[in-house]
Structure 1
Amino acid sequence: MTAANPRILLVEDEELNRTLVKAVLSRAGIAAVREAEVLDASSIAAAREQLNTEDVDLVLLDMNLPDGNGLTLASELAAGTVATGRRRPTVVAVTASVLPQDRAAALQAGCDGFLDKPYAAADLVATVAEHLSHRP
C-alpha cells in the first residue's frame, strides 16, 4: 500500500478491548502508529470481508474468536486464499496463550509476530511500530 497513513485491521471479539486498543494507538507517541487508520472486525468472517475489500498493512489478530481460531485466518492469508489480488498484510497474533508451542503454531500458520496478553500499552505501540516500519 502506498498511502501515507498505514491501515491496521484489529480482529478482536471483545468490544471493550477494541475500544482500548484504538484509544492506545490514537494516543501513541509514534506518528506512524498514531496516524494509522484502524479498522476492526469481531470475528474471522468479518475479518475476511474486510481483507477482501480493503488494503491493510497490519492485522492484529486475536486467537480466540467466536467463529474459530485466529490461526485459521493467518493460514488463509499465508496461502493467499484471503485478500486475493492484494498484498499480504503483516499478521501479529495477539493471545493469552503464551507457551512455546503456541508461539510456534502461530509462526507456522503464517503470523509474523506475537504479542502476549495482557500487554502494556507501550508494548502494543512498540509492536505495531516495529511491524509498520517494514511496510513498503
Structure 2
Amino acid sequence: MVHSQSAAGMGLKQDFPISLEVQLLGGLGRGTRTTANLCTPGTNVVMNDKLVTAHCINSSSITYESDGWTRVEAMVLGDSVLKHIVNGDTVLAYSKPQMGGGSANNTNPGVLVNGRMLTEGFIALQAESA
C-alpha cells in the first residue's frame, strides 16, 4: 500500500487503513488474473480526467503463472502522478488520490474527510492467503 494511513492513526476496530493498494496477484492456472491492480480502501483516484470511485481497478498486465520473479514498482509523485509498473511496463496510471469511498470502516472521528487529497503517507505491506 502507498499513501497509507499510519497504524497509530487507525481506529481500534478499523478494518483496513486508508490507502492505495498495489494488489499483487499470481495466476491460478486458468483464465486471466492481472497483477499490480489498484484497490482503494477509503480513497478515490482520477483516471483519464474522471473521478473513479470503484473499489478495485484492474491493471493492463498479463497473467503471471510461473514461480519466476516479477518486478513491480510503484512510482508515487505526491498527488500528481502515480504509476504501477510491472517488468518495466506501466500497467496502471492515475492521479489526485483523495479520501472518499468505502472499505475503510470504523475510522476514528474526523480522520476520513471526503475529498481531502493524499499527498503523503506510509508504505505498508499486507498479506493474505487462502
More strand by share: 2
More helix by share: 1
Which structure's relative contact order is higher, taking Cα pairs within 8 Å and 6+ residues apart? 2
Whichever of the two has the greater Rg, that structure is 2
With normalisation by structure 2, the TM-score equals 0.25
With normalisation by structure 1, the TM-score equals 0.24
